[in-house]
Amino acid sequence: MSEPHTQSTQHPQQPQRTQRIQHTYPRVIETQPERTDLPLVVMPSVIESMIGPFTANLELLHDIARVRMYTDCVSDSDMILARSADADAVMVIGFHVPDAMLDRFCGFDGRAGHVRCFAFGGTGVASYINLQRTREHDVRVCNIVHYGDHAVAEHTFALIMELAREVGRLNTEVKNGDWTGADGYALHNKTLGLVGFGGIGRAVARIAQGFGMQVAVWNAHVDPSVARTFGVTLIDDMGDLMAASDIVSLHLPLLDSTRGIVTAAVLDRMRPGTLFINTARAEIIEPGALSARLSRGDIRAALDVFDHEPLPMDDPLRSVPGIILTPHVAWRNDEAYIGLTKQVVQSIASFFTGGTFNIAN
């Protein structure tokens, strides 16, 4: 396997600040290229920060599969198909697999396909691949679990803090000579309502309690003993949770049963002044319901996920006053990359050795 080369970029004018190391990678990283007897795994696109963690884990596929990893991030369907033309398995990082691409990979109109497994580098795989269609093709899809619970929880609170204290705006104003400042919004003694109480929701609850907040959770089959362990209050009706909360944060996975579960009627129960956070999936909200609720101008929101990504320039969310928008990065930090990349590679290894690790479909 080719070894990546690293280069450090220094900025003497800011010696007190930790600088990011700039890496130079070959265009393609391959393992065991001479082992044509082994199945081929292709990663046609990758986020640069993942390259190092991925290369550290590729040894898990030694004598199981050879790997061809392209070291840039692309989303063009034709390029992804061309790079993966002879792949037995594809690692899906940073791009969607629309039905037309899926059919090209897996066979259509009597033509044989070549891809037998997709390993998705995330948890919300249903947003990226049509799972029903993969079942029809008899192709395995794997996703990963709990790799970024703390990363997403921390980003959730970054969004909450930005709404509460407006640090980003104040930073810009001070640098521009404006010393006016702004009044903050206290978190202490406020009620945080969580819709979803898996690994991420539980991590968010612990952070909230550190701020002295009260935490309420929508009771979608949450075990009472778990609620007692985490010191949260269960509320049976989602609308009642919205009405009782000063801040609402969504942490449900996207499943057939959760798609559109946060309805316009539920959002209507939020009181004026409520802060609304979504770092889960946009599709768990009824289409159009959030934009309609925000258009009333009496609640503020911070969002990391959207119905269409990248967010179109003409999307009405862009024009909502005071809204905070981030580009689906809640899961992205150094710790999460380590867990994510290892699970993706383990999923591929499991598939080719007859295991059942992290099957999503």
Mark whether 140 and 154 lie in a shared domain: no
* Contact criterion met (CB below 8 Å) for 242 and 270: yes
Mark whether 181 and 203 lie in a shared domain: yes
Q: Helix crossing, 48-57 with 334-352: angle to 10°?
A: 50
* Contact criterion met (CB below 8 Å) for 89 and 38: no
Q: Per the domain annotation, does 1 fall within a domain?
A: no
| Domain limits for position 35 | 17-147+334-352
The catalytic site residues sit at 281, 309, 328
Strands 5-8 and 21-24: antiparallel
Q: For 41-82, write each residue's pLDDT tens digit.
A: 999 999 999 999 999 999 999 999 999 999 999 999 999 999
Check: pTM over 0.95? Answer yes or no. Answer: no
**Average pLDDT over the chain, rounded to whole?**
92
Residues 6+ apart with CB under 8 A from 29: 1, 2, 4, 51, 55, 67, 68, 69, 71
* Contact criterion met (CB below 8 Å) for 72 and 45: yes
- Measured from the Cβ of residue 313, the count of other Cβ atoms closer than 10 Å reads 6
Mark whether 262 and 172 lie in a shared domain: yes
Quick one: 337 exposed, middle or buried, by C-beta within 10 A (0-12, 13-18, 19+)?
buried
Mark whether 29 and 91 lie in a shared domain: yes
Q: For 189-240, write each residue's pLDDT tens digit.
A: 999 999 999 999 999 999 999 999 999 999 999 999 999 999 999 999 999 9
Looking up residue 138, the CATH number of its domain turns out to be 3.40.50.720
Mark whether 110 and 161 lie in a shared domain: no
